[in-house]
Amino acid sequence: MKDKLMNRFGGEFWDERYNSLEFVYGTEPNIFFKDELNKLKTGNILLLGEGEGRNAVYAAANGWKVDAVDFSRIAKDKALKLAEENSVSINYNLADLSEYKPKANYYNSAAIIFLHLNLKIRSIVHSRVVDSLKSGGTLILEVYEKEQLGKDSGGPQNIDMLYSKEELKDDFVKMNIIVLEKKIVNLNESNQHKGEAAVIRLIAVKP
């Protein structure tokens, strides 16, 4: 199934995507997320669009108190199963991100990993993430850059759902941006995220 179907932004698509015994995006955490999380002091973390739980379980196994959010019930079931298999606990909220409002001034960190939202709601969701962080809280973000269009290594084949550095700089203007870079990387996370890819990586801290 081609990722261009991601343009049908909705839970039904993701239930279909995740409806298999295998973990579609694997069970190992995203490398960038893992490396950056390991630099931080543990606390409360918010993971948006968490899917099957690979990053949430890693965070929980390393001492974080995890709130994960997604709107696929099948993804939630698989994430909770993965957590149980790894003897950790995660709080997984089933919600539409266009409506979800996280706790304000609560999280020590938040992560957005390959979450590609409709333009109409993306800036709103990003604003809520900023509000959810405590002063000194760190955002870890990795997403597909606009040059990912046409590549078969993952992501939506819709230019409006891909990112630019300028868009992210605008969305997180209230934060101190530590890292904001476009990179060409070789992904090997699963068959869905595999091969040469254009990504943007961002680290930002709330003042």
pTM (predicted TM-score): 0.89
What pLDDT, on the 0 to 100 scale, is given for residue 1? 32
Instruction: Give pLDDT tens digits for 125-151.
Output: 999 999 999 999 999 999 999 999 989
Residues of the chain with pLDDT under 70: 1-24, 190-194
The separation between CA 197 and the C-alpha centre of its own chain, rounded to angstroms, equals 16
Q: Which residue has the tokens 């698509």?
A: 13
Q: 3-205 in CATH: which number?
A: 3.40.50.150
- Domain ranges in the chain are 3-205
What pLDDT, on the 0 to 100 scale, is given for residue 69? 97
Output the CA angle 66-71-172, nearest 5 degrees.
Answer: 65
What pLDDT, on the 0 to 100 scale, is given for residue 26? 72
For the beta sheet containing 65-70, the strands, ordered from the edge strand earlier in sequence to the opposite edge, are 91-94, 65-70, 44-48, 107-113, 133-144, 194-205, 176-188
What pLDDT, on the 0 to 100 scale, is given for residue 2? 32
What pLDDT, on the 0 to 100 scale, is given for residue 18? 52
Q: CA 116 to CA 122: how far, in whole Å?
A: 8
Q: How far is CA 141 from CA 17, 86, 160, in A?
A: 22, 25, 18
Structure tokens at 52: 């099957």
